[in-house]
Amino acid sequence: MGKLAVKNMENPFKFGSVVGGVHFTNRVNEIQQVKSILNSTNHLVLIAPRRFGKTSLIKKTLESNKSKSIFIDMQTINTVEGFASKLLKKIYDIFTVEGLKNKVKSFRIIPDVSINPITQEVSVSFNPQGENKIHLLEDVLNMLNSFAEKKNRIICVLDEFQEIERIDKSLSRQLRSIMQNHSGINYIFLGSQESMMKYIFENKKSPFYHFGSLMNLEPISKNDFFDFIKQGFYNTETKIDDAQITELLLFTSCHPYYTQQLAFTIWNNVQLHNHSNDVVGNTITEIVQIHDYDYERLWQNLNNTDRKIIAGLSNFDSKPLSSEFGKKTGVNSSSTVHSAIKRLIEQGYLIYSGNSYTIEDPYFNLWIKKFMQQ
Ligand SMILES: Nc1ncnc2c1ncn2[C@@H]1O[C@H](COP(=O)(O)OP(=O)(O)OP(=O)(O)O)[C@@H](O)[C@H]1O
Ligand SMILES: [Mg+2]
């Protein structure tokens, strides 16, 4: 095959944003699990570390589901009225303006709705009066519920739901009391801050206690990722050996984002420099070097206890709560180790899965190893 033709081909791997279509692999069981919840009257709480594929999984599931759905990223919301406006705008996106007109007129606080005559783009704003801003949300969500039919439930996805605590301290209590009356809506709550999400949905004192079925998303299985990568290289007539795919997956531990990032960069390198035996190792080194400055800054932001624990996890096999780990790292108090680990998980540095703690970013892990050897 001529080199030019190959060069024009599109890289089959994608990382950094929501993936669908050919960039999405498997998750067959997870899609089934989500679907079965959506076919019931239950709500779903999906928790996973950053960039594990939460949003992609839900979008993919909704694509093949005939229900109408609304998707809101809570990171983009700063106020209760902003939340109500965004919800209403999304409702305008899925229902006809005519159908909504009368219902909106009966709201306790009437929104300003304008429709761009050329693009048909709807913009919505509310002018809240004092303490009554929760009425905005209640009226909007109740209207959405009223549009549901027995066989056609409506799905409302709230991504990065842990952000609710930031928006307004009393919002979760108020929202829960509104949502509990909605028999026509399946709510899906996504979140990456595991401890916050668990607090919201698993703490008896929290208004959302046991409001939905809890589902944890794991990395993509090794076999599925192996086949996906092999197929991606094969379809684009780009060479890779099975042993190299295994090497790639061993390095990323099948973390969806880092795996796609490495496969993407290896593919580019094979295209540019031809296939070589050490392309996986060289590409990993290249990515670590590109991030050298960021990793140095990350490292500088960690306090000394955190550094000892992260360096310990990077260099030793022992469990961080064991006395052996304490001896090796010099952090002898297990309560100090415990609280540092909790904090590092919250900040996204560490992941707890399969009964062990690992450094979230495998490139950062390698950078630390090299850094400590200097
Ligand atoms: N099913 C999948 N198949 C292949 N790659 C995937 C899949 N799901 C996720 N990825 C990879 O992981 C990346 C992150 O996916 P996504 O944005 O859906 O995750 P997320 O958990 O919602 O992340 P965030 O915490 O940033 O919101 C994607 O860009 C893609 O590279
Ligand atoms: Mg997401």
Are 181 and 229 contained in the same domain? Answer: no
**Distance in Å, CA 18 to ligand 1 centroid:** 6
Residue in 58, 221, 260 to alter for ligand 1 test, most ligand atoms within 8 A of Cβ: 260
Are 69 and 140 contained in the same domain? Answer: yes
Are 95 and 227 contained in the same domain? Answer: no
**Counting ligands in written order, which one lies closest to the CA of residue 192?**
1
Q: Is 78 helix (H, G, I), strand (E, B) or coil?
A: coil
239 lies in a domain? yes
Nearest ligand 1 atom to alpha carbon 13: 31
Residue 144 reports pLDDT greater than 60 = yes
Half-sphere exposure of 104 (CA within 13 A, CB side): 22
Highest mean pLDDT among 126-135, 294-303, 351-360: 294-303
> In this structure, how many other beta carbons lie within 10 angstroms of the beta carbon of residue 33?
18
Mean pLDDT estimate for the chain: 89
Mutual angle of helices 362-373 and 304-315, in 10-degree steps: 100
The pLDDT value given to residue 5: 46
The CATH code of the domain that includes 168 is 3.40.50.300
Are 310 and 283 contained in the same domain? Answer: no
The pLDDT value given to residue 1: 41
**Distance in Å, CA 344 to ligand 1 centroid:** 21
d(CA 190, CA 197): 8
Structure tokens at 136: 């905005």
What number is the average pLDDT over the span 69-94?
92
Global pTM reads 0.88
Are 244 and 134 contained in the same domain? Answer: no
**Distance in Å, CA 5 to ligand 2 centroid:** 35
**Distance in Å, CA 14 to ligand 2 centroid:** 15
Q: Within the chain, what is the greatest distance between any pair of CA atoms?
A: 70
Q: Is 68 helix (H, G, I), strand (E, B) or coil?
A: coil
d(CA 35, CA 29): 10
**Distance in Å, CA 51 to ligand 2 centroid:** 7
The model's confidence at residue 151, banded by pLDDT at 50, 70 and 90, is confident
Are 156 and 45 contained in the same domain? Answer: yes
Domain boundary among the residues 200, 216, 232 is at: 216
325 lies in a domain? yes
Are 280 and 229 contained in the same domain? Answer: yes
**Distance in Å, CA 53 to ligand 1 centroid:** 3
> What are residue 333's DSSP bridge partners?
none
Cβ-contact 123, 113 below 8 angstroms: yes
Identify the CA nearest to 336 among candidates 309, 310, 302, 317. Answer: 309
For residue 106, give every residue at least 6 positions away whose Cβ sits within 8 Å of its Cβ, in sequence order, or none. Answer: none
Domain boundary among the residues 229, 261, 290 is at: 290
The runs of H, that is alpha helices, within 39-156 are: 54-63, 80-94, 97-105, 133-146
User: What residue numbers bound the domain in which 354 lies?
Assistant: 293-373
**Distance in Å, CA 169 to ligand 2 centroid:** 23
The runs of H, that is alpha helices, within 171-315 are: 171-179, 194-202, 222-235, 242-252, 256-273, 279-290, 292-301, 304-315
d(CA 227, CA 261): 16
The residue with greater pLDDT, 70 or 113, is: 70
22 lies in a domain? no
Report which protein residue has its CA nearest ligand 1's atom 15. Answer: 53
Around ligand 1, the residues with Cβ closer than 6 Å are: 14-19, 24-25, 27, 48, 50-56, 192, 220, 256-257, 260
**Residue percentage of the chain with pLDDT more than 70:** 97
Cβ-contact 74, 193 below 8 angstroms: no
Residue in 34, 51, 252 to alter for ligand 1 test, most ligand atoms within 8 A of Cβ: 51
The residue with greater pLDDT, 5 or 186, is: 186
Cα–Cα distance list, 352 to 63, 319, 328, 341 (Å): 31, 12, 21, 10
**Distance in Å, CA 14 to ligand 1 centroid:** 9
348 lies in a domain? yes
Are 39 and 120 contained in the same domain? Answer: yes
Domain boundary among the residues 290, 324, 346 is at: 290
The pLDDT value given to residue 131: 67
Nearest ligand 1 atom to alpha carbon 24: 3
The pLDDT value given to residue 257: 96
Domains contained in the chain, number: 3
Residue 2 reports pLDDT greater than 50 = no
Q: Is 297 helix (H, G, I), strand (E, B) or coil?
A: helix
Residue 127 reports pLDDT greater than 90 = no
Residue 115 reports pLDDT greater than 90 = no
Task: Average the pLDDT over each of 69-83, 88-102, 145-159 and give the range with the smallest value.
Answer: 88-102
Report which protein residue has its CA nearest ligand 1's atom 29. Answer: 15
Are 150 and 120 contained in the same domain? Answer: yes
Are 114 and 52 contained in the same domain? Answer: yes
Residue in 14, 19, 196 to alter for ligand 1 test, most ligand atoms within 8 A of Cβ: 19
What number is the average pLDDT over the span 24-34?
91
**Counting ligands in written order, which one lies closest to the CA of residue 21?**
1
Half-sphere exposure of 195 (CA within 13 A, CB side): 12
What number is the average pLDDT over the span 104-127?
84
Residue with the two structure tokens 């495998």: 362
31 lies in a domain? yes
d(CA 302, CA 154): 44
160 lies in a domain? yes
The CATH code of the domain that includes 331 is 1.10.10.10
Are 39 and 148 contained in the same domain? Answer: yes
Structure tokens at 329: 């790292």
> What are residue 189's DSSP bridge partners?
45, 158
Are 278 and 181 contained in the same domain? Answer: no
- The pocket of ion ligand 2, defined by CB under 5 A, consists of 55
The pLDDT value given to residue 129: 67
Report which protein residue has its CA nearest ligand 1's atom 19. Answer: 53
The model's confidence at residue 37, banded by pLDDT at 50, 70 and 90, is very high
Residue with the two structure tokens 């197929």: 231
Residue 4 reports pLDDT greater than 50 = no
